[in-house]
A and B are shown apart, each in its own frame.
Chain A
Amino acid sequence: MKIELRSNKDFWAGIMLIATGAASIFIARGYPFGSTMRMGPGYFPSVLGAILLLFGIYVMITGLRRGEKIAVRCSLRALIVLPLSLVAFGVLMTHAGFIPALVVLIFGSASAGRDVKFVEVLLLTVILTGLSVAVFIWGLGLPYPLIKGI
């Protein structure tokens, strides 16, 4: 019987857990382990990593046996656009100021949805940015320059 691995839910869950556990053990090797009586900083993460490894192997095997498929779908467009908008927000906050950062974030995330209407997104960006400036800068007094260099 050939099992489709690419969409096997528990197989990948197992892989994720095994990878997390293994990474934790690997990194914790660099910290003093200590003894059970005097635990070093490496003791707890190593033990947790080992437990995770075991859980991961179990989950992976169940996945191979059951072969349940991934049910939740993920829009690739949203998965790329939303995090990128956040990163852009972070960069612009340091270099360009509150307004440009927000405009890019709101415009970016709004266009991650389906049936995007340009005018609507533009209007939303303007309104939300104005609202945020009023609430966060004027209302709560957060100390961020609206636009850097002005």
Chain B
Amino acid sequence: MDLFNHLIFGFSVALSLQNLLYCLIGVLVGTLIGVLPGIGPVATIAMLLPLTFNVPPVAAMIMLAGIYYGAMYGGSTTSILVNLPGETASVVTCIDGYQMARQGRAGAALAIAAIGSFFAGTVCTLLIALFAPPLAEFALKFSSAEYFSLMLMGLVAAAVLAHGDMVKSLAMVVVGLLLGIVGADVNSGMKRFAFGIYELADGIGVATIAVGVFAVGEILSNLSDPEERQVFTSKVTNLFPTKEDLKQSFGAIVRGTGVGAFFGVLPGTTPAIASFSSYMVEKKLAKDPSRFGHGAIEGVAGPESANNADAQCKFIPMLTLGIPASGTMALMLGALMIFGIAPGPQVMTEKPDLFWGLIASMWIGNVMLLVLNLPLIGMWVSLLKLPYRLLFPAIMAFSAIGIYSTNNSSFDVYLMAIFGILGIVWRMLDCSPVPMMLGFVLGPMVEENLRRALQVSRGDPSVFVTRPFSLAFIVATVLILIVMAAPAVRKWWGTAEASSR
């Protein structure tokens, strides 16, 4: 079977000593930042991106991916133990997880969260291996017109499904597309929006923007709104869940994985939405819904499986189509481009070691998390006592060194400062920076495909609606817009997002 050959090949790549090491570093760093509130995976990946330039692309991507799903694990630990979600995806876990901890069942809750995440990770690794090849093969037949429509659909869906005002999110995509234009034009070589500045001729670095907006901008907003952190730690005793616990959570884990995988491939949805939806499903299906909020183990098992499934399935559109479905995926895509790999369906055939190695490494990373996480819980919790006022200068220093080292250029550090200010301004105006990031990464490709499609059709824009797949994407885009603009849907989505925050 092809599937198994591919997976075995993937494991042979991922199991090399170097790749194992980077995977371990990735999941450890991921868990760390998952535990620490105030710094998320996007900022961390952006911060570490410049430091991976000397590492082989496969190892680098394995590490960056590890940070991403490791953060999901870390977030659940603090939700359960101290009622403090390290990541937004774990907010719902607080509800029942913390109650379980207060009843002295912290160990069971942590174990179920880890087991659920592991199950979801395993299923999603298989899902990727199963669905990515046909999807990529299908996408290989696309011409520029299909690509343009596909990217349009991805960007619109990401903007519309993201939380916040729909129009403003769409506008932020356009802002991102414009930022992506900075630098030399591929066709004419003309330098655009460079203002005669030499450093801008090659465009703005993806890490520079991301660190500016997500690390510096985040710090600025945290410093403006300081919130006192109090840590009440409950003792973790008896890590093993009872047979009863396992029986109760099994269904929730399977359903949570399904919910997470579904939301995972939708662009723009955050893991928070997946975990919230899973919580609602479990509450609806429960024989006795009143148990929820008082330490129901399904309320931990479902959402934790869902957010991990969501995080991993986000890789499907990124790896096979080159469409980032979230801010983190936009960065991973940016990383691929920095390594000189053009994202898209050809990655699988041209860089099979990267593609299958990355997928296999995700499963290995999940094993590492399952094995490492539980014994290390004491350490993670003690890290929580680290006050933010000691943490953020370190983030500033590492970000600045990382960005400076990319091109040995002070100018990039100045740009990072400017994007930090823009980051807080956008937050104040309630303009989400995530759609901007997606637009920025896809910008050059959107323009390129638009140009090429219209050149081939001799300037006739009907090419986008006469080719069947392109038409399908355009219709889907319009449908998403209409459905999400409907007041009832908007309201429902709004409450889902609000409750998950």
User: Knowing A45-B178, A45-B181 touch, does A55 contact B170 (C-beta < 8 A)?
Assistant: yes
Chain B residues with CB under 8 Å of A52's CB are 171, 174-175, 178
A87 touches B223 (CB 8 A): no
B459 touches A37 (CB 8 A): yes
| B338 interface contact, C-beta 8 A | no
Name the interface residues of A106-123: CB closer than 8 Å to any CB of B.
Answer: 106, 109-110, 112-116, 120
| B497 interface contact, C-beta 8 A | no
Interface size on A, residues (CB 8 A): 67
User: Knowing A35-B459, A38-B455, A44-B450 touch, does A17 contact B171 (C-beta < 8 A)?
Assistant: yes
Number of A-B contacts (CB under 8 A): 191
A56 touches B416 (CB 8 A): no
User: Knowing A72-B221, A79-B220, A82-B220 touch, does A90 contact B411 (C-beta < 8 A)?
Assistant: yes
Name the interface residues of B391-435: CB closer than 8 Å to any CB of A.
Answer: 392-394, 396-398, 400-401, 404-405, 410-411, 413-414, 416-418, 420-421, 424-425, 427-431
B190 touches A109 (CB 8 A): no
A140 touches B51 (CB 8 A): yes
Chain B residue at minimal CB-CB distance from A83: B417
A91 touches B51 (CB 8 A): no
Main secondary structure of the interface of A (DSSP, over half): helix
User: Knowing A32-B188, A37-B455, A110-B389 touch, does A79 contact B413 (C-beta < 8 A)?
Assistant: no
- Closest chain B CB from A14 CB (angstroms): 9
Kindly state the separation between the CA atoms of A28 and B458 in the bound complex, as whole angstroms. 23
A40 touches B181 (CB 8 A): no
Interface string of A102-139 (1 = CB under 8 A from B): 10011001101111100010001100100010001000
A13 touches B411 (CB 8 A): no
Interface string of A41-63 (1 = CB under 8 A from B): 10011001101100110110010
Chain A residue at minimal CB-CB distance from B409: A90
- Closest chain B CB from A70 CB (angstroms): 5
| B187 interface contact, C-beta 8 A | yes
Kindly state the separation between the CA atoms of A60 and B56 in the bound complex, as whole angstroms. 48
Chain B residues with CB under 8 Å of A39's CB are 187, 450-451, 454-455
- Closest chain B CB from A60 CB (angstroms): 11
A82 touches B429 (CB 8 A): no
Chain A residues with CB under 8 Å of B454's CB are 36-37, 39
A selection of 28 A-B contacts at a CB cut-off of 8 Å is A9-B430, A13-B429, A13-B430, A16-B425, A16-B431, A21-B174, A32-B188, A37-B459, A41-B192, A48-B174, A72-B221, A73-B225, A75-B220, A78-B219, A82-B219, A82-B223, A83-B418, A83-B420, A83-B421, A85-B396, A87-B413, A89-B413, A90-B413, A93-B410, A105-B400, A106-B394, A120-B389, A132-B398
